[in-house]
Amino acid sequence: MDNAVMATDETGRPFIIVRDPGMKQRIHGTEAIKSHILAAKTVTNIIRTSLGPRGLDKILISPDGDITVTNDGATILGQMEVEHQIAKLLVQLSKSQDDEIGDGTTGVVVLAGALLEQAEDLIDKGIHPIRIADGFDRACKVAVEHLEKVSDVVPFSKEDTSNLLKTAKTCLGSKIVSKAHTQFSQIAVDAVLSVADLERKDVDFELIKVDGKVGGSLEDTTLVKGVVIDKDMSHPQMPREVKDAKIAILTCAFEPPKPKTKHKLDITNVDEYKLLQNYEREKFQEMIKQVKDTGANLVICQWGFDDEANHLLLQNELPAVRWVGGPEIELIAIATNGRIVPRFQDLSAEKLGSAGTVRELSFGTTRDRMLVIEDCANTRAVTIFVRGSNKMIIDEAKRALHDAICVVRNLIKDNRVVYGGGAAEIACSLAVADAADKIPGIEQYAMRAFANALDATPLALAENSGLAPIETLTSVKSRQVKEGNFRLGVDCMQKGSNDMRENFVIDPLIGKRQQFLLATQLCRMVLKVNDVIITGTEEAQY
């Protein structure tokens, strides 16, 4: 039995020690590192099948039954219930790649898993983990320097966006929207250029809103030069469209002021009730007059208002929208160049937002309506309005658009690119292997292991595309050496050419560089951990 050990006492008599099966054994040293690597490999094996344009999707079911279908690495890892500490580190790794770059979340985890797998082989050979980590750091430096050597500069401008479109297409090629990736690429590029400051090389993401509505197909997705909010006019008889809108943006409610006191008001007869009713009506009318005096012809309110206030707004021909959330209120204020007003007394004509048209958008045979604010004073604010057959497709399309927008943003920040399809990884693998031959000492083993780990990406791409992985990799690698062409990669879409420039498969340099750096940092962290101590439990008492 696994939980029993034979031992002998001082006189040599045998006896059996039975461990409580409920207690975990404390592991440390190289055994601890190996257990960590095993956890990382398990997570990597789950996610590597999602890499590339032919990568497969995963269905994630939450505890309350919500279903997510995606092949986005950060989303898969973010929704997986992982208990192991190192698996949690991989989740954070993909999140940091997503936060910083926005794309490449699957690739960075695949690379980190491959590095740890190679490290395990070196540990078995008796090489100290710190020497392995130092060798990986050295190899990563060589790889990043070589990335910059093999990168190309792609020119672009607001007039010529062809290179931005090609990069966005590469990003969207592995997503669910790939059948409409030309249209989605154009939408992503137009959205980013609408809000980009090309001189400062900066993109304000707050001005881009991505919203969606079930119904229609992916091809019905549009870019709205303005704001779309999931609300309608507060009264069904209010006009469905307001031209030359002057918008009062309020965070105060249409209701009489409540006295801040603990005393209660008792109404004992009809006259007192009528007095209270008249007081409320006068207050409502005073509020509406304060709004109309500024010249506003539309009210957008963060809070609700009762039927009486709604009726008075209709009578006074003042269209209104209620229950608009805080982030949407802020976006409307930015888009219309309006000010958010917390009190009716503070309203003035200068604080109103302006828009060319505010109209309701209705869908099919349903009563669903959304409000579209177009031709805003701030022309930089845009909304991508996604359509799809169900909520899962819309959510995945939103994630795909987020990645594409981030990729275009990265190109605006730094317009150097490397070639996809594993071409950059193969080129760096060859460079690191060459550098390892010139280094004396034990670190050369770690550098060669790093070079082997870089091959994991093209191997996974070939495997996911239905190609023979090892044959494809060796063929492309030998051609890169013979022809000196660092643009050769895995032909995932089987277009007949391995030249990624011809296939328009390109990635921003800063995204690929970040992948290498983050994966190496995580690997170093894991290799330096040789013990796990859980405080306050029996395992920690030794």
pLDDT tens digits along 183-233: 999 999 999 988 888 888 888 888 888 988 888 888 889 998 888 988 888
What per-residue confidence (pLDDT) applies to 31? 78
For residues 374 and 361, is the Cβ–Cβ distance under 8 A? no
As beta bridge partners, residue 373 has 227, 358
Task: Express each pLDDT in 393-428 by its tens digit.
Answer: 898 899 889 888 988 888 888 888 899 888 999 999
What CATH homologous superfamily does 30-153+418-527 map to?
GroEL-like equatorial domain (1.10.560.10)
Closest CA to 512 of 450, 421, 401: 421
Residue matched to tokens 């094996």: 45
Residues annotated as catalytic are 72, 105-106, 403
What per-residue confidence (pLDDT) applies to 284? 82
Q: Which residues make up the CATH 3.50.7.10 domain(s) of the chain?
A: 243-355
As beta bridge partners, residue 321 has 300
What per-residue confidence (pLDDT) applies to 540? 43
- The whole-angstrom separation of Cα 242 and Cα 314 is 14
User: Which residue type sits at 269?
Assistant: N
Angle between helices 129-150 and 105-124 (to 10 degrees): 140
What is the pLDDT tens value at each position of the chain, 542 positions in all?
445 555 555 555 565 554 444 444 555 667 778 888 888 888 888 888 988 888 888 888 888 888 888 888 888 888 887 777 888 888 888 888 888 888 888 889 999 999 999 999 998 888 888 999 999 999 999 999 999 999 988 888 777 788 888 888 888 877 878 788 889 999 999 999 888 888 888 888 888 889 888 888 888 899 988 889 888 888 888 898 899 989 999 988 877 766 666 667 777 888 888 888 888 888 888 888 888 888 889 999 988 887 878 888 888 888 999 888 888 898 899 888 889 998 888 888 898 988 888 988 888 777 788 888 888 877 788 899 999 888 888 988 998 898 889 888 888 888 888 998 889 999 999 999 999 888 887 888 999 999 999 999 999 999 998 889 999 999 999 999 999 888 899 988 887 888 888 888 888 899 899 999 999 999 998 888 777 776 655 544 43
N-term to C-term CA, the chain: 24
- The whole-angstrom separation of Cα 14 and Cα 16 is 7
Closest CA to 418 of 107, 90, 184: 107
What per-residue confidence (pLDDT) applies to 35? 83
202 Cβ neighbours under 8 A, 6+ residues apart: 196, 412, 413
Closest CA to 430 of 443, 448, 444: 448
For residues 165 and 189, is the Cβ–Cβ distance under 8 A? yes
- The whole-angstrom separation of Cα 38 and Cα 408 is 36
What per-residue confidence (pLDDT) applies to 21? 47
The secondary structure element, H or E, covering residue 68 is strand 67-70
Q: Which residues make up the CATH 1.10.560.10 domain(s) of the chain?
A: 30-153+418-527
What per-residue confidence (pLDDT) applies to 136? 93
Q: What does the DSSP assignment read for 88-145?
A: HHHHHHHHHHHHHTSS-HHHHHHHHHHHHHHHHHHHHTT--HHHHHHHHHHHHHHHHH
* Domain made up of 243-355: CATH architecture: 3-Layer(bba) Sandwich (3.50)
- The whole-angstrom separation of Cα 435 and Cα 450 is 11
